[in-house]
Amino acid sequence: SRILVTGANGFLGAHIVKEALDSGYLVRGTVRSQTKAEELKKVFPSDKFDTSVVPDLVTGDYTEALKGVTAVIHSASPFTLDLSDPKDFLDPAINGTLNILRAAQAAGVKRFVVTSTVGTLPNRPESLFADTTYGPDDWLPITYEQAASGTLPGFMVYITSKKYAELAAWDFAKEHPEVKVTSVNPTIIYGPVIHPISSLKSLNASNMAIYSLINGSKTIPPDSVPIFCDVVSTARVHVKALDSEATYGKRVLFAKGPATMYQILQIIVKARPELADRFPPIPEVDPVAGKPISRIDSTIAMEALGIKGLELEETVLQTVDNLLELEKKL
């Protein structure tokens, strides 16, 4: 059967397409322009893959895109750290989710997986440095109004956009029980890039944190998300969820374990010493040493879906080696 993946030319989106093709699905990916469609076709030359151009998440018409489709994985959402107007996050995330949900339901689609984030969970001010296990009943307390006010940092607006996008999907699922909805809530995702990018300046936001440890930057990014997962496993969670009833109506949280910037840098320093002249000044101790790091209840992904995730070392080194290759190519 054919599935539709939105944001198919994104970091995670392209890995979802790959996993779905490898699992035997016919896959259609949405992108915002014909040029992006052509670039993506080069990554997936398979005749089991095609594209559909939907220029705008909120007003886009999915009639053509949904023809013959039995399930949707909605992964497109704005994720950058340079924010201009909060509405540029909130609107596409929330109304973009509702737009495709309505179109999918009208087209008779019964299965809908939406990419959310663990950022929707922390209900404590110390956030992911709390000595706690966050689970599917936890929700970020920041309100829409606070996020829209223009006074919060970009990352806060981003996670609030994801919270209300996910809530919109759950409300929709209540009104339309024939559509089985699942959210996948990964923590920060690292891993090799397979999607089309023209320059490392436009590298996706999460991998940029790792790249900034080896690109000659003089500072280490802040530890805002000290828990990681790898991109291939995260994509697999989305695809395996499609035919797993254990995930219907569930928030499938996914995190492998702790990953502070200091730990990541130490892995690179030990395994890739030839990069020494690119490292930022290395602190003597981890600036967040001694702080508790939260756990994320990933039981459904790990047990029902059997996806354990890669260890940090493998994830970091795969990412670094991929970024160095991209540097040569671009």
Beta carbon nearer to ligand NDP, 161 or 274: 161
Closest CA to 27 of 39, 35, 36, 40: 40
| CA–CA distance, 81 with 94 (Å, rounded to integer) | 18
**Nearest residue to ligand NDP, by Cβ distance, number only:** 10
- 286 burial (CB, 10 Å; 0-12 / 13-18 / 19+) is middle
CA distances from 190 to 34, 204, 254, 274, 317 (A): 28, 10, 13, 22, 10
Q: Given candidates 5, 28, 66, 92, which one binds ligand NDP under the rule CB under 6 A?
A: 92
β-bridge mates for residue 52, sequence order:
30
Q: One symbol per residue from 154 to 183: x for binding ligand NDP (CB under 6 A), - otherwise; what is it?
A: --------x---------------------
Helices 11-22, 231-242: axis angle to 10 degrees equals: 50
CB of 31 to ligand NDP, least distance (A): 6
Using the rule CB under 6 A, is 89 a contact of ligand NDP?
Answer: no
Local structure of residue 253 (DSSP, 8 states): E
Q: One symbol per residue from 29 to 68: x for binding ligand NDP (CB under 6 A), - otherwise; what is it?
A: ---x---x--------------------x-----------
CB of 300 to ligand NDP, least distance (A): 16
Q: Which of residues 235-264 bind ligand NDP (CB under 6 A)?
A: none
Beta carbon nearer to ligand NDP, 77 or 319: 77
| CA–CA distance, 91 with 78 (Å, rounded to integer) | 10
Using the rule CB under 6 A, is 206 a contact of ligand NDP?
Answer: yes
Q: What token pair was written down for 253?
A: 């949280």
Using the rule CB under 6 A, is 204 a contact of ligand NDP?
Answer: yes
Which residue spans within 141-294 are E strands per DSSP? 180-186, 188-190, 227-230, 251-254, 257-258
Q: Which of residues 98-117 bind ligand NDP (CB under 6 A)?
A: 115, 117
* Interaction site with ligand NDP (CB under 6 A): 7, 9-13, 32, 36, 57, 75-79, 92, 115, 117, 162, 186, 188-189, 204, 206
